[in-house]
Structure 1
Amino acid sequence: MKTLNLNKLTILLGLFLVSAFFTTSANAACVESSAGVIETDYSGNGENPVTDTVADEEVAAGDQKRSCLVTPIEYKLVFYKYGICKADPSLGDLSSCAMLFEVPAGIEHDIEKGVVESLAIPEFAVEPGIYPFSYVSLSNKLGMKWSGTMQASTTGEDPAGNAGDGIYCWSSGHGPRGSASQTDGGESVATVHGATLASSDNVTIDCGAAAGTALFNYEIIPRFSEGYCDAALAANGDKSTFELEGVGSGRGIPSVSLLTAADVFATTCQTAAKIAWTTALSTSLIVTEDSSFSMSIKATDANSVEWDGGDNNDILYMDSGAPRIMLEIEG
């Protein structure tokens, strides 16, 4: 077994897409009327004011819709574990995994597009061998910072509930939002990270005649399956498996589950604290005595900005689009 220096593990934000709720789709982005300006059409069409660059399951490319995908300025994530495994860890057995890091308190890291940094972790050891799976544990509370320019004046709201109007919009720091409500009435959910906003108070983007200062908005993901938080989660922490996605050494079939703070599968929204993300890799990773490692976190056009859906120009919030974590091994 070889001990590898921590400076061989680096972190980079680049190009990737995972849409809201960690489902996968084709790469799409808000259509711009000019460079850096999101095309918005509120004139008699406020219900569906934007377009994006490709079709999704419901709307053809170029058709008007109420949301489109943007690139966040910055992510704030908390990592607990990252490892590679000889056997499938998605059912909770990590005994075959070699952890590149495992920090019970978590490592909070701000990730900016195009910035390469070392991740502050202890030294780690990896036994040479073949590893068909990767495993990541991170907080289910995700921080996102964003700002954008609109073609037409848009209405947002500050954390105090004051409406702002203008072509400049930014994440306001209001929150956290939840990806699910307590019931169909849209009530707040009590989570381990604090109470989420009720749906009647979920506007987390402000707008104005001059550009404002973007702050982190947070989204908590208390369940993956469709439903409300007054119902229990599905088996194995609401385990969900998606279609083959990704590129290069990170290509594979991802499965996600929700964990409690004690690293067991969560059975309710209220106890969900972490996301366990397993990828069954299309090509196994091969580790030798001379291997070096680089870790990439890639996310562009991953976050969906949502409008009200009424006959107005009201913008609401930005959904999470978690970055995809990939490991490159050389040697």
Structure 2
Amino acid sequence: MSPTLAQRADALAAALDAAGDRLPSTVTDAPRALLTRVRERAGLSAEHTVVALAGATGSGKSSLLNALAGADLAGTGVRRPTTSHPSAVVVGSPPGGGDPGPLLDWLEVARRHAVAAGPGLPAGLVLLDLPDHDSVVVEHRERADRLVARADLLVWVVDPQKYADAALHEGYLRGLAGRDDVVVLVLNQADRLGPAERDAVLADLARLAAADGLPRARVLAASARTGDGVDALRDLVRVAAERRESTTRRFGADLRAAAREVADACGTTASRRPRAVVADGLVDALAAAAGVPTVVDAVRRSAVRRAGAHIGWPPVRWL
């Protein structure tokens, strides 16, 4: 059985404590901030799944959110950036209860809309419309960055003109490498392209995502204006909300990545042994954070069985 999210967080915290001040703050600050986020999220409603629609100026995030919700809830317009503050659409009340208020307070989302659950939108779903990540206003970018780090499932909305923009790939997607399960790339405004052009852009977008470390990220085309592809995206979001696994997958991947970064900073490679003073518990804790002990134990048992079959005392070996 793989380690739980709490076990991973405890193991990473033990590793950071074992390292003490031997690692620079540039290495430990981000993991410690992550641990705070994980523990704060764990104390909030587990019945709600937070799906964030992120993207650049003019990509159509707000229009796509309105199409998903089936109502004109998020403001749209020609003035850019349109979304200066995040807004949330809270769908129904989940069967297990759970007040979304504290969760939205933690996300720092003041603009909230409540809609009834339906066949396409299950209760417990929280849709966020994020500010533009490439906004010229620093505060807008900071709000978007904070929510990107806290959302359970990230839907990146791109358009045919800027889908390959370095601000997206270098600034965000590469930092999400290994989180394929909780990253979706949506080519919005696909109605502006012919069928051949759309397929070519989708293929190139998938290629860029693989180069960013997201080879299994889901890529699809949609049009908020015509409705094409909206049902497919709604189904994907619905499944994520009904399974309620996105939170664990998102933060579990974050913890594994942080554990690897700390381990790399310790020099735990075959050619570079860690200092003895750091090795006392640090390596074990990092391995636990990354889920290594389960694999190691399975390999050990398998090796013992094979060795006994080959060189054991014949009567015992036969038994």
TM-score past 0.5 threshold? no
TM bucket by the smaller chain?
under 0.3
Instruction: State the structure with more CA Rg.
Output: 2
Report the TM-score when normalising by structure 2: 0.24
User: Larger % of strand: which?
Assistant: 1
Report the TM-score when normalising by structure 1: 0.23
User: Larger % of helix: which?
Assistant: 2
